[in-house]
Amino acid sequence: MEILILVLLLTVLIIGVLYFGVVTVPQGEEWVVERLGKYARTLKPGLNFIIPFLEYVRAKLSTKDIIIDIDPQQMITKDNAVIIVDTIAFVKITDPVKAVYGVEDYKVAVEQLILTAIRAIIGEMLLDEALGNRDKIIARLQEKIATNTTAWGVTVRSVEIQDIQPSESMQKAMEQQAAAEREKRAIETKAEAEKKAMILEAEGRLKAAELDAKAQVALAESSAKSMMLISQGIADKELPAMFLLGEKYIKSLDNMAQSQNSKFVVYPADIQSTIKGMLGSVFKGSK
When pLDDT is cut at 50, 70 and 90, the band that residue 254 belongs to is low
3-state secondary structure of 244: helix
Q: Across all residues in the chain, what is the average pLDDT? A: 78
Q: Among 143-147, 242-246, 257-261, name the most confident range.
A: 143-147
- Check pLDDT > 90 for residue 33: yes
Q: What is the pLDDT of residues 148-205, one digit of tens each?
A: 788 888 988 888 888 888 877 766 766 677 777 777 887 888 888 888 888 888 888 8
Distances from the Cα of 174 to the Cα of 82, 167, 179, 195, 258, angstroms: 12, 10, 9, 31, 73
Backbone angles phi, psi at 79, to 5 degrees: -95, 25
Q: Which of 109, 106, 86, 82 is nearest to 96 (CA)?
A: 106
Measure the N-to-C terminal CA separation of the chain; round to a whole number of Å.
174
Contact assessment for residue 77 and residue 121, using Cβ atoms and an 8 Å cutoff = no
Distances from the Cα of 7 to the Cα of 4, 12, 14, angstroms: 5, 9, 10
CA–CA distance, 59 with 203 (Å, rounded to integer) = 89
pLDDT at 269: 47
Give pTM, 2 decimals. 0.56
Percentage of the chain lying above the pLDDT 70 cut: 74
Kind of pairing between the strands at 46-49 and 82-93: unpaired
- Check pLDDT > 60 for residue 139: yes
CA–CA distance, 169 with 208 (Å, rounded to integer) = 58
Read off the DSSP letter of residue 127: H
3-state secondary structure of 150: helix
Dihedral sign for Cα 6, 10, 15, 20, please: positive
Q: Which helix (H) or strand (E) holds 158?
A: strand 154-166
Contact assessment for residue 232 and residue 240, using Cβ atoms and an 8 Å cutoff = no
Q: Which of 61, 64, 87 is nearest to 75 (CA)?
A: 87
pLDDT at 282: 47
Q: Report the 10 Å Cβ neighbour count for 156.
A: 19
pLDDT at 229: 65
Dihedral sign for Cα 48, 50, 56, 58, please: negative
Contact assessment for residue 52 and residue 16, using Cβ atoms and an 8 Å cutoff = yes
3-state secondary structure of 175: helix
3-state secondary structure of 3: helix
